[in-house]
């Protein structure tokens, strides 16, 4: 398994030197990928007192701008949005941005995509919230075509490219695309179109085992080998012991996870954040977790 860590943006803020130090420390420690999340708009909670989600007090960097910056500050570690909300963006522009980051980091980008849940962002960005799932499938097809060839002609339900292309192209003429989400339709989407499945809010329990079995079955139906579809599971370390961290990593390994992503700040469902919010607190947690689980990888 490969171990990565999510950048705790909402805690460490916008200071570029702090972000650089976090990324370089992760790489030096032995983490193999950096994950970053995506929200374009935060709401004003004064007008939505029951709101649970991104608000205007939270610092969330644009994923491509952030990873483009870190491309020049790191040398080996993989860079991975987890996940970019693809259908609220123009497809060719995403393909161009992803290719540019991939070139600048030397082919280290792994693009996690999802369809999101926040209709406020779709309204603000002028995109259709209601067809976002199906549209995302065509978006992936468009991006793969643009990454592979200098000139592309594509005519689909939502996209029309009249013999045009992007430059630069990614070094591999492709970029791995991983899908986030938990619905059955997402598993089928991963099996047909994806290089992997990102499980942000799952636990390594019977439900996860059944979903992974279904994913493998759908992949075989699509003519794909099990080892061609990766699984990246998020874990957290707050209010738990190193023994419990190890047990969770071991449980994911038994279920077939290929990647583990440590979260130190995300608080959703079973995830618990670390106690501190300072950059030093996150750096200390990073080192502590790695030392506890490195021999399991």
pLDDT one digit per residue (tens) for the chain, 297 residues: 999 999 999 999 999 999 999 999 999 999 999 999 999 999 999 999 888 888 999 999 999 999 999 999 999 999 999 999 999 999 999 999 999 999 999 999 999 999 999 999 999 999 999 999 999 999 999 999 999 999 999 999 999 999 999 999 999 999 999 999 999 999 999 999 999 999 999 999 999 999 999 999 999 999 999 999 999 999 999 989 999 999 999 999 999 999 999 999 988 889 999 999 999 999 999 999 999 999 999
Output Rg (C-alpha) for the chain, integer angstroms: 19
Using CA atoms, how far apart are residues 70 and 230, in angstroms rounded to an integer?
Answer: 24
Query: Residue holding tokens 């999101």?
Result: 116
CB 266 within 8 A of CB 293: no
CATH number at residue 283: 3.20.20.30
Phi and psi at 160, nearest 5°, equal: -140, 105
Q: How many domains does the chain have?
A: 1
The upper half-sphere exposure of residue 252, i.e. CA atoms within 13 Å in the direction of its Cβ, equals 29
Domain span at residue 101 reads 2-296
190 burial class (0-12, 13-18, 19+ CB within 10 angstroms)? buried
Helix (H) or strand (E) holding 4: strand 2-6
- pTM score, whole prediction: 0.96
| Sign for the pseudo-dihedral over CA of 221, 139, 211, 184 | negative
């Amino acid at each position: 398994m490969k171990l990565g860590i999510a950048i705790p943006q909402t805690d460490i803020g916008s200071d570029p030197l702090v972000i650089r130090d976090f990324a370089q420390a992760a790489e030096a420690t032995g983490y193999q990928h950096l994950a970053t999340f995506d929200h374009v708009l935060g709401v004003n909670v004064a007008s939505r007192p029951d709101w649970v989600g991104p608000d205007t007090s939270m610092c969330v960097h644009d994923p491509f701008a952030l990873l483009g910056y870190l491309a020049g500050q790191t040398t080996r570690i993989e860079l991975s949005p987890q996940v970019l909300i693809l259908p609220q963006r123009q497809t060719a522009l995403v393909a161009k941005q992803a290719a540019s980051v991939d070139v600048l980091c030397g082919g280290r980008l792994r693009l996690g995509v999802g369809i999101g849940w926040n209709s406020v962002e779709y309204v603000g960005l002028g995109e259709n919230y209601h067809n976002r799932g199906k549209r995302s499938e065509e978006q992936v097809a468009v991006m793969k075509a643009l990454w592979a060839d200098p000139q592309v002609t594509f005519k689909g339900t939502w996209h029309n490219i009249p013999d045009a292309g992007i430059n630069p192209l990614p070094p591999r003429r492709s970029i791995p695309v991983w899908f986030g989400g938990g619905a059955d339709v997402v598993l089928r989407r991963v099996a047909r179109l994806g290089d992997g499945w990102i499980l942000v809010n799952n636990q390594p329990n019977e439900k996860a085992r059944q979903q992974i079995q279904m994913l493998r079955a759908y992949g075989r139906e699509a003519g794909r080998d099990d080892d061609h579809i990766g699984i990246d599971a998020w874990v957290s370390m707050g209010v738990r012991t190193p023994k419990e961290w190890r047990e969770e990593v071991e449980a994911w390994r038994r279920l077939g996870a290929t990647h583990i992503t440590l979260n130190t700040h995300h608080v959703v469902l079973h995830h618990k954040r670390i106690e501190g919010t300072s950059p030093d607190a996150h750096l200390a947690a990073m080192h502590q977790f790695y030392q506890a689980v490195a021999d399991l990888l």
